[in-house]
Structure 1
Amino acid sequence: MTPAINIAKKHQIGHTVHEYVHDASVSSYGAEAAEKLGAPAEQVFKTLVVCLDDSELAVAIIPVLSRLSLKLAAKALGAKRALMATKSDVERSTGYVLGGVSPLGQKKRLRTVIDISADRHTSIFVSAGRRGVDLELSPSDLKTLLNGKFAELCQ
């Protein structure tokens, strides 16, 4: 069990845990997840951590093959600017390693915004907190669990 799975269970959110064998030589964790899960890439989401106005960390959740617009992320989170957080900041604040960062069960709860495209799907896949383990759940349940919001985030 990961903290993310425990959160979904604790809140009795409908979810499915999907596991696959992670290939350590792969650098695109999200594309690997979509391929190995047999899920459309637009339904598999990655969790990115950004640094707002040089201090506050926040989470942006976008489709795995999409590119985050830092300008749109800053706007959605009410900041002047956003930069990608450093690896050490991500791992320290979330408690997860890169490639296995889940939006759920992070050590420190961060403000979260989810790309609006997620709301077009009945269910989406997000990391369950370990490479090779994903959670499938409804976008609205994810939004509720994270006290997040939907916004346009991709270029």
Structure 2
Amino acid sequence: AEDLFVDGVIHPDRIDLVARMSADFYCHASGDAVFIVRKPVGHTGIGYDRLPDFVKQSHLLSANNIAQLANCEHMPTEQELKQFVAALEAPLEQKKTFDDYEQAGDYRGMFALAIASFDGNDARAEEYFERTARAALAVDDTTTAWFALMYPRQQKA
């Protein structure tokens, strides 16, 4: 039974889980169906109600992604965003497309390419920033996700 535990917690990949949904419906919960939403222990998150509308109305972010952002203590400041962007290196491989970076899980490369292609009016470029945020959230990097979501709005202001 000890092989079920990882760091003192039962690891979901080491057991066969079934979730009851309603009536006679059940769900086999394993593999990619199991995900993590960190509990805001010791701090109070922003909360769903205080999230900006552009986050709540996203067509690309999942409910889990939005919950990750709502669990953050605060949104980064514009100054933090400017510092992050200044430190962000341009993609080294100029022949790579946004999709190439996304497939590789390189959300920093995605962000740099989104910045390079952003002209302030391009809906596709804004989609790139949301996809970048989604990729950052997949590895629990909420700060970079916030930066990616804030960048196009800060540039328009």
With structure 1 as the length reference, what TM-score do the two structures score?
A: 0.30
Ranked by relative contact order (alpha carbons within 8 Å, sequence separation 6 or more), the top structure is: 1
* Larger-gyration structure (1/2): 2
Higher fraction of helix: 2
Higher fraction of strand: 1
